[in-house]
Amino acid sequence: MSPKLDYLHVQIPALLSVCFALLVILLVAGIYFTIRRVAPKQAAFTLIGCILWLGLLYFAAQKTFFLDIAATPPRFLIAVIPPLLFIVMVFGQAKGRQWMDRLSLRSLTWVHILRIGVELLLFKLFVAGQIPQVMTFEGRNWDIWAGLTAPLMIFMVFYQKKWSAKVLGWWNIGALGLLINIVTTAVLAAPFPFQQLSFEQPNVAVLKPSFIWLPGFVVPVVLFAHLISIRRLWVNTRPDHEPS
């Protein structure tokens, strides 16, 4: 079955793009200040790297580079493979693991509150015909629960200290599962040769500015935060002993 591509070349409503851009700016700021607390020089380089990467993705999407869905392999991979390779590189190096172990678990948990705003914008994208309903909280996407429960985890683990690191660890595993679920759904609903879902209203928003930043930046950051936290908690790092 061929996907219905009525909205492929229709611009995303400007307000939605601006709101998402603001969320990404907040995320970049959070990354910078989290890293600056433990590695000021690395924080500056990270900030520059984030800005350059986001700018490159935006420029390519603005030039409709990712809208060529007939390209082989899919051009979309150019947006997602570099961040994933960066994560693998950091985990694969001893210095990278030492750097990760110094980051604040509390800050890494705060990152996930961003998912509330993302999910609300996804629903608006569905209304605008840019993504299918299955990618929203009215469909198969329950990722908003990770964002809604993140403040509870922060309060109970780091401030009240009534919940243990084990609870935070299981929460990260569960929230990671929610992330994997929506990413899988989004990929299978995109108008690529392997599409399996939502042919009547495929996922085209992530091929356009500024929502190309969702798979190319936001999702990798959220994934990275989960993986760092799970690794830290796996080796029994106590949240109440990490930097405030």
Domain-by-domain residue ranges, the chain?
14-241
Distance CA 23, CA 3 (A): 30
- In degrees and rounded to multiples of 5, residue 169 shows phi and psi of -65, -45
Task: Print burial letters for 87-96: b (CB count within 10 Å at least 16), e (below 16).
Answer: beebeeeeee
Q: Say yes or no to pLDDT of 47 above 80.
A: yes
Residue type at position 19: C
pTM of the model: 0.94
Least Cα distance to 226 among 187, 168, 185, 184 occurs for: 168
DSSP secondary structure letters along 5-19: -TTTTSPPPHHHHHH
Distance of CA 93 to the CA centre of its chain: 23
- The answer to whether 136 and 67 are in contact (CB under 8 A) is no
> Which two three-digit tokens encode residue 66?
């990712």
pLDDT on residue 174: 98
List helix spans (H) across the chain: 14-36, 40-62, 77-92, 94-100, 105-110, 114-127, 144-153, 165-188, 213, 219-234
Q: Say yes or no to pLDDT of 241 above 50.
A: no
- In degrees and rounded to multiples of 5, residue 218 shows phi and psi of -65, -50
Distance CA 34, CA 226 (A): 15
Q: Say yes or no to pLDDT of 240 above 60.
A: no
Q: What are 127-171's pLDDT values in tens digits?
A: 999 999 999 999 999 999 999 999 999 999 999 999 999 999 999
- In degrees and rounded to multiples of 5, residue 211 shows phi and psi of -75, -5
Half-sphere exposure of 61 (CA within 13 A, CB side): 27
pLDDT on residue 44: 95
- The answer to whether 212 and 78 are in contact (CB under 8 A) is no
At 22 the three-state DSSP class reads: helix
- The answer to whether 41 and 182 are in contact (CB under 8 A) is no
pLDDT on residue 19: 98
Distance CA 108, CA 8 (A): 35
